[in-house]
Each structure stands twice: as C-alpha cells, then as structure tokens.
C-alpha cells in the first residue's frame, strides 16, 4: 500500500548539547577571524565543503544550523540544486525504492567541467537525484536502498537513461561532452542492445564519457575490461575516477587506457607529501605517453586552482566553476573537449604470447631457467610495491606448487593485484590472489606467462610449451623476455580478461572456510587500519604546523605591542613598561 512521504525528521540535541555546540561555533567564528586559513574539509553527499577549524568538534546539528543561516538552505551540500522544482503529486506518493524504480523517479543535475586554459565549459557531469523532497533524493541513500533490495542494476540503468535524457533536454550536445557514472557491481549486466538503443535515441550529437572507479577493479577486473571495450565500440570514451584514492587505480591505469584521468579531490585540497608526488609522477607519465587528459575535482577556490594546474590538470570541476544544477551553466562560454581515440579489442580470447610483435627473436630453454626468470620478476614486483599488477599463467593447477603458493601469498600482501590462471585453479587459489579455471580449448593452456606492470616499470616472460614428452623438469619452451610497455600491457590485458569475478560467500559455507575468509578480512582491515593511522598522523602533523604558524603570528603581534608599549613608557608621565607574560 502506497503511503505519503513521511516528514523529514531533524536531529535535535539536548539543551546541554545545544549550548556546547553554540559555544563551539562561536569559537569557530573567532578562529576564522584570527586565522582564515585554518580550515578543514567536511564531507557531505560524498563531496566536500570548507568549514572552520573548530567546527569539526561540533555536532552535525551545529554545523548544519550555521550553514542554513548562511545559505538560506534546508540542507547544506556541495551538490545543491538551482531552481529545483517542488515535489509533484506523483512524487508525493513515493514510499520506497520500488516506487522510485517503478515510476522512473530519478532525475539528473549537471555540474560543469571547465578547460583551465580557455576557461570554457567543455563538458558536464550528470549526477543522479531521487524524487525531490523525499529521503531518497540523496544519491547515497538512493543507491544504498537499491543495493539492499538487490535492485542496483535497475537503478544504474535508470540513471543512465536519465543522464542521456538530460543531455538531450538541456542541449548538452556536440561539441560538449557528457560524463556519466557506472556502478562497479553491475559492470557487465547492462545489455549491449540497451546501450545501443540509448545512444541511437539520444542521437549522434551526444558525446559520452563513462566514469569507472578503482572499486570496480578488485572485484571484477575481467568485467571491467569487457565493459570498457563495449562502450568504446559505441563511440563512448572512458574516465578513471578518484585516481589517487587507492593504489589500485594507479596500477590499473595503463590497463584501462582511460582517455580522461580524474584526480581525487584530496590531491587538490589536501597536504602534499611523498604520496602525492608518487601519484603525480604516475599520472603525468601516463598522460604523456597516451595523450590522456587530466581532470582535477574539488576545485573550490583560487588556491585549489593553482594546485590543480601544478598537478598537471587541464580540466577542472568544483564549486569555483559551478555547483550541480538543473540545466546548463548560463553566461559562460562553451567549447569542445578533444580526447584521444583508443583501439578496441576483445582480450578474453587473445593469447599473451601472440601479443609479441612479428619478428620478435625467440629463445629456447628448459623449465629450470624459466623458473629462475619468473622468481626474478616476482622479486622485482615486490620492490615495486603497491602500484604493481602481477598476472601469471601456470597451464595446470599442478604447476602451482606449495612453494609457488607461498611466494604468491607474499606478493598478494605487498602489491596491488595478483592473478594466477590455470586449469583447475579456482576463483581465489590463495588468499588475496585472483584466479580462473582455463577451458580445455583456451590457447593459454599451452603457455607459461608472467607479467609485472606498474606506472614506471613493465616486464613480461612469455613462453610457449613445445610439447616435449620427457620428464617435466626437462620440458622445453620457446620464450621471450620483454620490457616493451605496449607488449607487456597487452599481455596483462589478455590475462586479466580471463579472471573470474569474486563471488560472495554462499549460505552454508563451512566454518573453516568462513574462518579463512574472516581472517583474510581481518588482514585487509589491519592494512587499512595501518593506513588510517598514517593518515591520522599526517593530519596531526599538518595541524601542528598550523598551530605553530598561529603561535608565531600571535608572538609577533605581542612583540609589536610590547615594543610600542616600551616606546610609550619612555614618554614623560608614562606608567611602568609592560613585560612579557
């Protein structure tokens, strides 16, 4: 039974909590007047806004109360809409996610993307919104409800249709470009016919860039590669989003070959250090090789703009250029976004050995030498660390020996992604190692391949079994050891295009298996906790620097007052000189 929308319930603190929050906001005002630069970022709707330093100690109620009084808005958010219509009678009967999907009550707002050199708007990103005035208007709650009810694919498809409809209705047509997002969990479920129909209905004047994130890489690498090839076959382009938020995005950047690299907003707004330098080097190296365009998100003021330019960004997005709104930006110049073209290929049936260029000099050797070459490349992968992808083909599961299991377990603890493929190998042959069981007719069953790929290093051992019938240790292979980045990247794509998706643990799983999964989760959580501690320490260091700057400023002010007081004390009839406390 459909019911009316319940009234929005706002949290009200106790009188004591209200008094504390008001006092903290007052302290925040004083700090802001004394040191305007002493601000921190607060997250809202998945994006960020600047709030005073002391306000981070306040309750959400206090911060929201201040924002409402300053902006005259019922809900402060980075993604506020302009001229958003009031809820219609149709939307006023929405009860939950089923009604949203059944009635198609998803709309799109548009945020401009600007060329930092010409200051022209060259693209818009379509951001999904639920029914206006409803609790599901917020995209985080909308997608959480769809995920909880196992309807994420339906919502994702509805969002794509809404984005393309908004592009046509608001004339976001060529030469402008439309950026749309895809949920990682449903990468391979959108029918190709549907995408074709949407593209044809929208017309050839709609130029689309599909945004994918590093969240889709770890769980479904093969599906991600297939989706990228499918959308490029439609004439769409690809953007890798939130680059720098996780090392996985840097590791997979050369494999996805995105035409646009979107820097995580923390690179623009945060404190610079060795991690930022590593990300900047990786992104700039990729952009220089491929011609890809770098886009910086979260640009909210002139300082952010200067940082974005220094990081190598050519495009910018953020409050400085415009908030998400209904329709195109007005009173601004619009221009064209030039992007490179990437060749499409179905990697799921490509042999890594066949990626070697015609005329490559091949060598012959028995198995022992290939084992040592493989171990050397594995040690190199360990040195490369968190931005490294390792993928290997073992022909059959029996070649994935206990010693190999140990080595690959160590690799999984140190690098971004590890895959091991072979007949009889499962989805996860070792904790943290992704796998695939090769079909009998897969050409990969006749190869011994090992690929190590990072933003700054590329190597591959590609070998083909010559079919000797003698002892296993004396089997001979024809092989090449290459450091050609294009060849190594192609071989890695061929291997990862076969990796099985990570499946959820089914009901009835044995206690031992569940315990192993739990231990894997704890290990992963331990690594996350360690990183969180490092991030927290970095925040403390940054705060200490700010505190030291404020103290120096106050001492300088006091010294000037003291000098003035001493000069006054020398005048006839003056009081005793003032001393430092």
- What are 384's strand-pairing partners? none
| Cα–Cα dist 351/359, whole Å | 17
CATH topology of domain 107-316: TIM Barrel (3.20.20)
Task: Give me the sheet containing 458-465, strands edge to edge.
Answer: 363-366, 476-482, 458-465, 447-453, 389-396, 417-423, 434-436
CATH placement of domain 348-496: 3.30.870
| Cα–Cα dist 221/495, whole Å | 10
Average pLDDT score, the chain: 77
Tokens of 219: 């769980």
555-566 pLDDT, tens digit per residue, is 776 777 777 767
248-286 pLDDT, tens digit per residue, is 888 889 888 999 999 998 899 988 888 899 899 999 999
Which helix (H) or strand (E) segment is 504 a member of? none
Three-state SS letters, 158-227: HHHHHHHHHHHHCCCCCCCEEEEECCHHHCCCCCHHHHHHHHHHHCCCCEEEEEECCHHHHHCHHHHHHH
362-383 pLDDT, tens digit per residue, is 999 999 999 999 999 999 999 9
Q: What ranges make up the beta strands (E) of 412-457?
A: 417-423, 434-436, 447-453
pLDDT per residue as tens, the chain (581 positions): 433 434 434 444 455 555 555 555 555 454 444 444 433 333 333 333 333 333 333 333 343 443 333 333 333 333 333 344 434 444 445 668 999 999 999 999 999 999 999 999 999 999 999 998 888 999 989 999 998 998 988 898 899 889 988 888 898 988 999 999 887 667 666 555 566 666 666 666 788 999 987 666 666 777 788 878 888 888 889 999 989 888 788 888 988 899 999 999 889 998 888 889 989 999 999 999 999 999 999 999 999 999 999 999 999 999 999 999 999 998 899 999 999 988 877 777 789 999 999 999 999 999 999 999 999 999 999 999 888 999 999 999 999 999 999 999 999 999 999 999 999 998 899 999 999 999 888 999 999 999 999 999 999 999 999 988 878 888 999 999 999 999 999 999 999 988 887 655 444 444 344 344 444 434 444 444 454 455 556 556 666 666 677 777 777 767 777 777 677 666 666 555 545 44
Whole-prediction pTM: 0.68
Tokens of 435: 């796998």
């Amino acid at each position: 039974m459909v019911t009316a929308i319940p009234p929005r319930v706002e949290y009200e603190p106790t009188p004591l909590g209200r008094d504390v929050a008001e006092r903290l906001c007052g302290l925040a005002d004083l700090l802001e007047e004394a040191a305007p630069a002493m601000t921190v970022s607060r997250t809202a709707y998945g994006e960020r806004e600047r709030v005073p330093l002391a306000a981070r100690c306040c309750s959400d109620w206090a911060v929201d109360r201040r924002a409402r009084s300053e902006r005259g808005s019922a809900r402060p958010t980075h993604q506020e809409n302009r001229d958003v219509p009031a809820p219609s009678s149709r939307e006023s009967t929405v009860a939950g996610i089923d009604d949203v999907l059944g009635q198609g009550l998803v709309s799109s707002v548009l945020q401009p993307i600007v060329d930092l050199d010409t200051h022209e708007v060259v693209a818009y990103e379509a951001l999904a919104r639920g029914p206006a005035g409803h609790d599901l208007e917020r995209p985080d709650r909308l997608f959480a409800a769809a995920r909880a009810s196992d309807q994420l694919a339906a919502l994702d498809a509805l969002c794509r249709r809404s984005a393309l409809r908004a592009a046509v209705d608001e004339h976001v047509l060529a030469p402008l470009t439309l950026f749309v997002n895809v949920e990682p969990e449903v990468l391979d479920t959108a029918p190709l016919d549907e995408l074709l129909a949407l593209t044809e209905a929208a017309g050839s004047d709609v130029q689309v860039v599909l945004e994918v994130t590093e969240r889709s890489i770890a769980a479904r690498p093969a599906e991600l590669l297939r989706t990228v090839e499918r959308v490029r076959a439609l004439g769409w382009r690809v953007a890798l989003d939130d680059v720098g938020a996780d090392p996985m995005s840097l590791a997979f950047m050369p494999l996805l070959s995105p035409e646009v690299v979107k820097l995580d907003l923390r690179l623009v707004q945060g404190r610079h250090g060795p991690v930022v330098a590593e990300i900047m080097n990786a992104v700039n190296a990729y952009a220089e090789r491929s011609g890809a365009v770098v886009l910086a998100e979260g640009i909210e003021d002139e300082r952010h703009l200067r940082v974005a330019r220094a990081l190598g960004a050519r495009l910018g997005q953020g409050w400085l250029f415009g908030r998400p709104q209904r329709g195109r930006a007005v009173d601004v110049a619009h221009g064209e976004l030039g992007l490179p073209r990437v060749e499409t290929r179905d990697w799921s049936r490509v042999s890594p050995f066949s990626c070697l260029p015609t005329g490559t000099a091949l060598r012959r050797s028995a198995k022992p030498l290939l084992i040592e070459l493989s171990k050397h490349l594995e040690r190199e992968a360990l040195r490369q660390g968190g931005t490294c992808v390792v993928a290997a083909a073992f022909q059959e599961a029996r070649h994935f020996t206990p010693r190999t299991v140990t080595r690959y377990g160590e690799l999984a603890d140190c690098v971004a992604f590890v895959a091991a493929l072979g007949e009889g190998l499962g989805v996860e042959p070792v904790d943290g190692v992704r796998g695939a069981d090769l079909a009998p007719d897969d050409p990969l069953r006749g190869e011994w391949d090992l690929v190590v790929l990072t933003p700054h290093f590329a190597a591959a051992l590609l070998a083909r079994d010559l079919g000797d019938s003698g002892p296993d240790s004396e089997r001979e292979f024809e092989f090449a050891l290459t450091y050609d980045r294009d060849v190594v990247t192609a071989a890695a794509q061929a291997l990862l295009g076969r990796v099985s998706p990570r499946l959820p643990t089914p009901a009835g799983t044995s206690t031992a298996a569940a315990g192993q999964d739990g231990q894997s989760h704890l290990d992963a959580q331990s690594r996350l906790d360690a990183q969180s501690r490092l991030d927290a320490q970095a925040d403390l260091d940054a705060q200490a620097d700010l505190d030291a700057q404020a103290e120096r400023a106050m001492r300088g002010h006091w010294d000037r007052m003291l000098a003035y007081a001493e000069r006054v004390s020398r005048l006839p009839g003056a009081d005793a000189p003032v001393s430092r406390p």
